[in-house]
Amino acid sequence: MTAPGLRCPLCRGTRTRPWARARDLEYFTTEDEFAYHRCPDCRLVFIDPVPADRLAEIYPASYYSYGPPDRSFAARVKQRLDAAAFRHVLARVPGAAVNVLDVGGGDGAHLSMIRELEPRTALTQVVDLDERAGRLARARGHRYHQGRIEDFAPPELFGLILLVNLIEHVADPAAVLAALRRCLAPGGVILVKTPNTASLDARLFRHRNWGGLHCPRHWRLFDRGNFTRLAASAGLRVDRFRHTQGAPFWTASVLAWLAGRGLVRLSAARPVVRHPLYPVLTPLFAAFDFIRTPLGGRPSQMFFELAADDRAEELTGQSLRSTRHA
Ligand SMILES: [Zn+2]
């Protein structure tokens, strides 16, 4: 007989097992090792315990990059890809005016890009935790709510909501999606980007500080199947899905592996994100992921386009009606 594992935060199952241990080699905010577990029933990978009381420590000031705009080749390629992704989604959003919400949107860079791409853009709103990012976002003409999305109650609804590499940073992703569902205008779209545990690099580097763990800042890690079920539980359906490149995870993983073999040196003074090989390796891995994705390769980032599930709405309506008539 095996002892029950920790309770899975997604499906509540108790068959979870230790999956990996990792350290923060990207920013060296702490020397501590963190434990990740996996649920065999829903395949969620999760950190335990959640370092929720250590946010100021594990998100260093350097985490939010404020410098002048990055004009490197890699940055410009990424901007063009972001623009293409936004244009694609915006084409599906109905209405003469579109309110856009970026959760975890920092200084509002994505919103500024969307405002240039889409003449229908009306209100642009950031919800994020950082005060300095708020000043920059407001200076760019965006509204800024400093706080959690669960506590954000706007009078407007949003036709496009961005949730780009945010959902994996929170302890209760179901609560975040439920909050977004309440903010979504009729016909609106939620664009989610999140790491993929069913990826080649996750498998190769599971026990070697896989970059996708972004340890200890990623708390809940998904694959296509369990994220789709999570969305359904919040009354959202996946309209479109695609993989996209996860080059920074490859680079972080490979540098950690090389450091483990004594071939490169990582330290608090030279963490992964400031290592001179970082900007060299990242475009190479991006190219690798681009080439293999159409051939059936599974890179470590996923895009989901979510819409309100009308069937869920009907069910809610029905249960409301039956409550009223009871
Ligand atoms: Zn589970």
Q: Which of 77-91, 202-216, 275-289 has the lowest mean pLDDT?
A: 77-91
Q: Are 33 and 23 in contact (CB under 8 A)?
A: yes
Q: What is the Å distance from ligand 1's center to 33 Cα? A: 23
- The more confident residue out of 72 and 219 is 219
Q: Which residue has the tokens 């919400």?
A: 101
Q: What is the Å distance from ligand 1's center to 5 Cα? A: 11
pLDDT tens string 202-211: 999 999 999 9
Q: Are 236 and 307 in contact (CB under 8 A)?
A: yes
- Residue-level pLDDT at 110: 95
Q: What is the Å distance from ligand 1's center to 224 Cα? A: 14
Q: What is the Å distance from ligand 1's center to 40 Cα? A: 7
Q: What is the Å distance from ligand 1's center to 85 Cα? A: 31
Q: What is the Å distance from ligand 1's center to 12 Cα? A: 6
Euclidean distance between CA atoms 27 and 12, whole angstroms: 32
Q: What is the Å distance from ligand 1's center to 45 Cα? A: 9
Euclidean distance between CA atoms 199 and 288, whole angstroms: 13
Euclidean distance between CA atoms 288 and 271, whole angstroms: 24
Q: What is the Å distance from ligand 1's center to 16 Cα? A: 7
pLDDT tens string 119-144: 999 999 999 998 999 999 999 999 99
Euclidean distance between CA atoms 123 and 133, whole angstroms: 18
Euclidean distance between CA atoms 240 and 260, whole angstroms: 39
- Residue-level pLDDT at 312: 64
pLDDT tens string 150-185: 999 999 999 999 999 999 999 999 999 999 999 999
- Residue-level pLDDT at 69: 62
Q: What is the Å distance from ligand 1's center to 219 Cα? A: 14
Nearest Cα to 9, choosing from 170, 132, 225?
170
> Which residues does residue 306 pair with via DSSP β-bridges, in sequence order?
190, 238
Mean pLDDT (whole number) for 303-318: 75
Domains in the chain and their CATH numbers?
A: 71-199+220-244+254-325 (3.40.50.150)
The Cβ of residue 77 has, within 10 Å, a number of other Cβ atoms equal to: 13
- The more confident residue out of 300 and 76 is 300
Distance of CA 158 to the CA centre of its chain: 19
Q: What's the pLDDT band for 321 if we cut at 50, 70, 90?
A: very low
Mean pLDDT (whole number) for 261-279: 93
Q: Are 82 and 112 in contact (CB under 8 A)?
A: no
Mark the residues whose beta carbon lies below 5 A from ion ligand 1: 8, 10-11, 13, 39, 41-42, 44
- Residue-level pLDDT at 61: 79
Instruction: Find the distance separating the first CA and the last CA of the chain, reported in whole Å.
Output: 47
pLDDT tens string 219-247: 999 999 999 999 999 999 999 999 999 99
Is the pLDDT at 315 greater than 60? The verdict is no
Is the pLDDT at 145 greater than 50? The verdict is yes
Euclidean distance between CA atoms 82 and 162, whole angstroms: 12
Q: What is the Å distance from ligand 1's center to 207 Cα? A: 21
Q: What is the Å distance from ligand 1's center to 13 Cα? A: 5
The whole-model pTM stands at 0.91
Q: What is the Å distance from ligand 1's center to 174 Cα? A: 13
E strand intervals along the chain: 17-23, 33-38, 45-47, 98-103, 121-128, 143-146, 158-164, 184-195, 220-221, 236-244, 301-308
Q: What's the pLDDT band for 319 if we cut at 50, 70, 90?
A: very low
Q: What's the pLDDT band for 68 if we cut at 50, 70, 90?
A: low
Triad 25, 76, 214: Cα angle to 5°: 20
Q: What is the Å distance from ligand 1's center to 88 Cα? A: 33
Q: What is the Å distance from ligand 1's center to 103 Cα? A: 25
Mean pLDDT taken over the chain: 91
Is the pLDDT at 115 greater than 80? The verdict is yes
Is the pLDDT at 324 greater than 60? The verdict is no
